[in-house]
Chain A
């Protein structure tokens, strides 16, 4: 690894600061702009060196692969090649001038880090209302972005696509992420305790129905982002998911896409409607 970096910034998501260094000004500008709301001066836990390549590093259609090679994690996809050592905290990423490549590397890195810290990334929008975070989970097309768009002005959007959930002491919190969906807008860089987990379905009217824990688990596990075939980390993710559904209300939220759905969400939490 070279040591003469010209450009360096620290991207802190979910309280985990990662230093990103590169000698390529174009790549650095792209990183600074994309993560502008998540730059920090904290002491980094990881150091990542970005190396720019002009061509795709392999077939553009190559699926993501994450595996362990001796003491390093290796992350592959058509548009990037990355290696990261948990022991040294250092890694490299080779990619072209494409913002989505590093975004994916960050998601995978955080999914690995969170698995050891009672957390995970979830396909979900998350929003803070009255100091409490609600997670709205579902596959593409379930309505995550729609629900985020309909959120009242008083609400704080943490993400419309990838929620960041992590346990601190005995409480699960949701953190803002720069990982945006169709809204194309990064979340706010803040956090709040998770008060409810909703699984989205669109329908003709608004309806909230509490789910038994096993059914909540079935739905939750379908939407957790985890890429590595590491038995220890998989066990951690399973335990964290079970723990979350044991502590937080999990519901099915059938909704008709207008702003009234937020009154239903607030009433479920014992909060007054906005209207």
Chain B
């Protein structure tokens, strides 16, 4: 089975507020707030860890969710954010430069 790798676009700004991640796309000024599960995926999107691994270690171990359902929800979330240019998705790990240029979210 092929893997999915995700990293954050460099064209976004992000900041944590009251446990939810606030994300704004600088290209079209669209604004998103991510719930705690989505925030955990977002924070783990380092371009090198497979999405399946992120779901297993960051979601299933920290939230009370069914693994199959969690993976399905994560795929939908990733597809949605990638369509808005917020996340970049690849079947290969991203090179270090792509991950290192992403903005750091502030507390």
Contact = CB atoms under 8 A, between A and B. Distances in A.
Interface stretch (B10-18, B42-50, B62-70, B87-95): B10-18
Given A242-B15, A242-B17, A214 B33 contact: yes
A217 B13 contact: no
A238 B18 contact: no
Interface string B1-35: 00000000011111101111010111111010100
Given A217-B22, A242-B17, A242-B22, A234 B10 contact: no
A231 B13 contact: yes
B26 A239 contact: no
Contact of A218 (B12, B29, B31): B31
A231 B85 CA distance: 13
Contact of A226 (B18, B29, B103, B106): B29
Nearest to A212: B18
A214 B103 CA distance: 20
Given A213-B17, A245-B17, A234 B29 contact: yes
B17 A246 contact: yes
Contacts of B106: 239
A230 B10 CA distance: 11
Interface string A224-246: 00100111011101110010011
A43 interface: no
Given A221-B31, A239-B106, A234 B26 contact: yes
A222 interface: yes
A6 to B, nearest CB: 40
A218 B33 contact: yes
Contact residue range for chain A?
20 to 34
A222 B27 CA distance: 15
A235 B17 contact: no
A226 B27 CA distance: 11
B27 A229 contact: yes
Nearest to A233: B26
Contact of B28 (A222, A229, A231, A238): A229
Contact of A235 (B13, B27, B31): B13
A77 B31 CA distance: 24
Contacts of A230: 26
A68 B12 CA distance: 17
B24 A221 contact: yes
Considering residues B10, B20, B31, which has the most beta carbons from chain A within 10 angstroms of its beta carbon?
B31
Contact of B10 (A218, A221, A231, A245): A231
Contacts of A234: 13, 24-26, 29
A231 B18 contact: no
B24 A214 contact: no
B18 A229 contact: no
Contacts of A245: 17
Interface of B: 10-15, 17-20, 22, 24-29, 31, 33, 103, 106
Interface of A: 212-214, 217-218, 221-222, 226, 229-231, 233-235, 237-239, 242, 245-246
9 contacts: A217-B17, A221-B24, A222-B31, A229-B28, A229-B29, A231-B26, A233-B26, A238-B22, A239-B13
Given A229-B11, A230-B26, A234-B29, 10 more contacts: A218-B31, A221-B22, A221-B31, A226-B29, A231-B11, A235-B13, A235-B24, A235-B103, A242-B15, A242-B17
